[in-house]
Structures are given as structure tokens and as C-alpha cells.
Structure 1
């Protein structure tokens, strides 16, 4: 009997471990994952809510991208921001300091300008982070989803999403993507360039949308491109983004590509819908607002994204492999059945 039990135990131990999405079955929108010294730190949007330690942005930690532990909150609330919304944190490490980029709006601060970009700093990846600067974009009343990127020459750039209300060059009114140089980690050059604006039917957010920010003007169609994330691959710059209304089955991840960090970018092939990550009817709804991270072996690239639970009460944390194919980047998902553990 003892020998049989040992054999059974050995067989169980030899079975490869798997994971099943979601890897964190609780509210965790707009996930960003930082890998630092072999450990993963995930940061998620909290909106107006505070974590149990009174901070902003839910913080999780993990050693393997699958088993996550709650670690409180990351950002100390700035003074005067009691009623403000906080969205989409991203963190980078530069010259001994961790920089967190995010948007804040509403409440006593910014009530008439929608959302504006801010940066906070910490000496530790888990924080707490302290807000140190406003990254002002005077031309826009709504700036969100800041994504810092360091090019191979060392220059830092900030990609973000902002509103456009014109129809120049046959673009659609709505939220689009831009890029600007960072003069340092807390100051924009003020030389923003358009990366991509909406021009396809699938990215519509809402029809006949009245916008208080723009003197209650009603737009026949309001489109959304958001959540930019840059990858340099095989000498080209890929700007991944999420498009459409996050509540709908159309929401997913696509990309545009350029030979230069400042563009021009092309989204040829994106006419019919998101090519990287798309909903699976009856199983996965609203996959998107992702980040990229390497597995523990440092070789396999994963997308970290949110997707709705079946009741559509929470956007939960999911991961899936990214593949670079002859047709461009494609996610091996979204998956909802058991998958091999990240190596």
C-alpha cells in the first residue's frame, strides 16, 4: 500500500502544472505588470475607490505570473483628490527610482478638464508612490492611459490617449493615440504627434453621444482607441491598443506599426476588428487594456489583460502568450481552458 501511495504521489507530481484564466478572480481593470529582480508587481485601476490601506491602485505580487497575492495599494492619495478618479497606472524603473504614470480627473481637482496625466515616484517597486508632477497637455481636455517607453538609444517617450473632436483626413471623432518625447521622467517636450485615430466602424464607443466636456455637443459617432503599449520587434515599432466600447463584444486589442518611433504608423489590416485579442462568444467578453511581460525564464512573451466575469460585475486579470507570426503579432487566446504554466 505504501509503495502504491508513493507511486501515485510521484505521478501527481510529474503532471505539468496548468493555469486557467482568470489568474486573479477579482476586480482588476487596466492591469500593468512590472517584472523587477525576478518578481512580478501588478497594478490595477481603482477609480474613486481606495484599497484597504487607504491608498490608490490595487497592488498584487507574484513569482510566476499565475499565483498572485494581494499587497494593499500603491499610491498615496494626493491632497485635495478625495473625490477624484484614478485610472490605468504603469510603472518603470530608471536610475534608481520607480516612476508611476496614470491619469486623474473629477472631484475638486480637474472637474472641468476631464482627466489629466500625472507621475508619482517611489524607491521601491511596491511603493508607496507619491505624486510629484502633472504632465500637462493643454490642447486636450481628456488625456488618459500613459505608457512610458525607452527606445534603444536611451530616449524616453510617453504614449497616451486623448480626445479629438474634428473629422480631419476622414478620421472619426473620439479618443485617439499620440506620442511625445519626455525631456526627463516628469516633463513632456510638448511636441506631441498623432500615432493613430479611429477610422474603422468596429471602434465606435457610442452613437449619438453627448459630451459635457465639449459644451454638450452631440457626436453622431464617438470612437475609442486607448491603452497604448509599444513593442520594438525586428526593427519596427508596434503600438498595441484597445479599441471600441469596453462593455461590448467588439472590444479587443489591435496594433499599428511604424519604422520610426514617431511614425507615421499604419493599421492596414485592422478594418474588420481586433487582430491580436478578441472576444470569444459565450466565454470571454471585453478582453483588453493590456500590458506585455516576459515569463520567469525571460524568453516567452505574455499579454496581461482584463476580461469580464460572466455577470459583468468585475474585470478580472488574465494572461496568455503572444506569438509573432508572419501575419503580425497574435495572442494565443483569450483562453478560458487550462493552459501550460509560464516557463
Structure 2
């Protein structure tokens, strides 16, 4: 009897330890366009809700389902930014918190980028106020804004239209004067050109750009093909490192997708990703959404997932295959293991 009890206690302890060191995808039942920002020991996570900007606060994204959660902004009715709030991001810049999102008044052609500001050290506290629209002089349709710093300068990249018709989404870049103001004109870095970026669709898409830096080299990972298809996948742009990131000729597009649907693993349309590092800064992770079955498109079935990735000898991110739901993975390392 005593041996049996000891064995049961050992098994229970082993199970608890496994829960503390492992996790499985998805991280939440649903949540498209996942993004996180790490500061002072906490990850601040957000995703598209449609009607508000929400953030989650957690020591580990593996614990996202039990994380502290707060709606930080719900827009008033009757404004150009009242509806269709998409792809929010939260950043700590120049001593304050900023939350970026795309929104419209109810019609998609009105989508533009907006930014909120909060001077509180903790984004779960303090007051979030509307700072305004973030737009270049062209002020065309814009979604999926991402900010990054490179060699002391601040830039925004986003997905937008060249004109006023929903025919083609391109990736644009502009330099920022400050966290809420674009300085100068936008420059187009990428437009759908390969078949895997088009997938036979009438409306072709490059969207969800995310800056990624490794060993001082700058890259942009973006989503291509429509989210309404199972062909939704990730592509890569690489900056030469020479001159200015605003020079479109200094960027090269990888000819093939670098992360895509895996039918065998039942992971469909993986995309609109972001990146983070483990708390010890020794591991690189990709955070993305995907569907668990074909044909689910852009709806509420998309769920956030994460997995560790590595680097090739020539500095390319190696994401591997999207991991199946329920597969036990090691949590992001606290001590590099």
C-alpha cells in the first residue's frame, strides 16, 4: 500500500512538472493576428477582437489562457474608427505605451491606422487616449501596421492599396518622426508577384508585415494570398544592409513561401505572425494564427499558436512545419533550456 501511494505521488509530481515545462497549441480557442511585446518580465499580448483593443499580461505565453486580461479601448460610435478594429499591436516607445490598430466606420475602404497612448509604466493601468490617425501624405487604405527601430531610426511597415480600389495589397514602409507621426512619403517594398502570393485570386494580397532582426540583419516576414484561402502563407523580404531601408532596391524577396499549410498536421492557412524571444533571450519563437480544418477562411476559428524556430548558416529563419494541435512542446526557456 505504501509503495502504491509513493508511486501515485511520484506520478502526480511528474505530471505537475510536465505541465510546468511543456505546453500544447493552440494557446487560446480563437484569436487572429496575434502579437506580443516583452517588458520587465511580462509579455503583453493582443489579437483582433473586431470591436475593441484588448491586452493580456503574462509571465509566459504558454499560460495565455489564464492570463490577466483587459479591454483597454472601445471606440465611440459614429467615428471613422468605430468598427472593424484589426491587428492591434502594443509597443513601449520613448517612455510611453502605444497601441496601434486599423479601423473604419463600417466600410472596408475606410480602413486606416490609428494609435493610442498611455504614459503609465504598466499598460494594464493608467489611461489610454486616442492619439490620432497614422498616415503618410497619400492617406490610402491601410492595415496591419508594425513598428521597428533600425540604426536609431523608427519605421512603420503596413499593408495598403496603391489607389482607392480593393485589387492588390502591397507592403509599404515609411520613416516615423515620432511614435504617432509618419515623416515623408511611403515607399512600396513588395507587391504580390509569385503564384503562391496570388493563388488564382482576383484580389491579391501581401499583408501582416513583421520586422525580424538577427545578427544585425533586417528582414520582413509577411503574409501572402488571401486569408480566405488555405493557401495563406508566410513570405520573406531581406534588406541588403546597405544604404537606407526606404530604398526599395535594397530589398530582395525570397521566391518561395517559408511557412505554409501542412495537411498532414491539420494546420491550415498559417499566417499573420509576430515574433518574440524566451525570457532569457536565448530562444526565438514565432507566434501565428491558423485554422484546424480546411475552408475556414478568415472567420473566428483562427487560433493563436507558437513554436520555436532556428536559423540557417546564411541567416535565414528556419520555421520548419507548423506543429499539429495537441503536440507537447517545451515552453519558452527561462534558462536557455
TM-score with structure 2 setting the length:
0.83
Runs of 4+ in 1 over 6 A off after TM superposition: none
For residues 46 and 300 of structure 1, the distance between their equivalents in structure 2, rounded to whole angstroms, comes to 29
2:305 corresponds to 1:314: no
SS in 2 for 1:322: strand
Paired residues of 2:137 and 2:184 also in contact (CA < 8 A) = no
Paired residues of 2:159 and 2:172 also in contact (CA < 8 A) = yes
SS in 2 for 1:9: helix
For residues 126 and 99 of structure 1, the distance between their equivalents in structure 2, rounded to whole angstroms, comes to 12
For residues 26 and 103 of structure 2, the distance between their equivalents in structure 1, rounded to whole angstroms, comes to 27
Paired residues of 1:202 and 1:244 also in contact (CA < 8 A) = yes
Please name the residue that 1:24 is paired with. Answer: 28
Deviation of 1:72 after TM superposition, in Å, equals: 3.0
Q: Which digits, 9 at most, give the CA deviation of each residue in 1:33-84, with x for residues without a partner?
A: 111211112111122x3xxxxxx12322322211112513122424633852
Aligned Cα RMSD in Å?
2.4
Paired residues of 2:235 and 2:254 also in contact (CA < 8 A) = no
Please name the residue that 2:194 is paired with. Answer: 200
Q: Cα–Cα, structure 1 residues 134 and 165, in superposed 2: closer, same or farther, change >3 Å?
A: closer
Please name the residue that 1:244 is paired with. Answer: 225
Deviation of 1:304 after TM superposition, in Å, equals: 0.8
For residues 333 and 65 of structure 1, the distance between their equivalents in structure 2, rounded to whole angstroms, comes to 20
Please name the residue that 2:155 is paired with. Answer: 157
2:260 corresponds to 1:278: yes
Instruction: Give the one of 275, 281, 299 matched to 1:292.
Output: 275
- Structure 2 residue runs without a partner (length 5+): none
SS in 1 for 2:196: helix
Paired residues of 1:206 and 1:245 also in contact (CA < 8 A) = no
2:229 corresponds to 1:229: no
How many pairs are equivalent? 308
Q: Cα–Cα, structure 1 residues 194 and 180, in superposed 2: closer, same or farther, change >3 Å?
A: same
Q: Cα–Cα, structure 1 residues 133 and 77, in superposed 2: closer, same or farther, change >3 Å?
A: same
SS in 1 for 2:212: strand
Please name the residue that 1:211 is paired with. Answer: none
Deviation of 1:238 after TM superposition, in Å, equals: 0.5
- Structure 1 residue runs without a partner (length 5+): 50-55, 167-172, 208-220
SS in 2 for 1:333: coil
Deviation of 1:317 after TM superposition, in Å, equals: 1.1
Please name the residue that 2:310 is paired with. Answer: 323
Structure with greater proportional helix content? 2
Q: Cα–Cα, structure 1 residues 323 and 86, in superposed 2: closer, same or farther, change >3 Å?
A: same
Q: Which digits, 9 at most, give the CA deviation of each residue in 1:125-157, with x for residues without a partner?
A: 235532111112342531111101012x32111
For residues 82 and 92 of structure 2, the distance between their equivalents in structure 1, rounded to whole angstroms, comes to 29
Please name the residue that 1:216 is paired with. Answer: none
Q: Which digits, 9 at most, give the CA deviation of each residue in 1:313-334, with x for residues without a partner?
A: 4111100112111362121431
Deviation of 1:163 after TM superposition, in Å, equals: 1.1
TM-score with structure 1 setting the length:
0.82
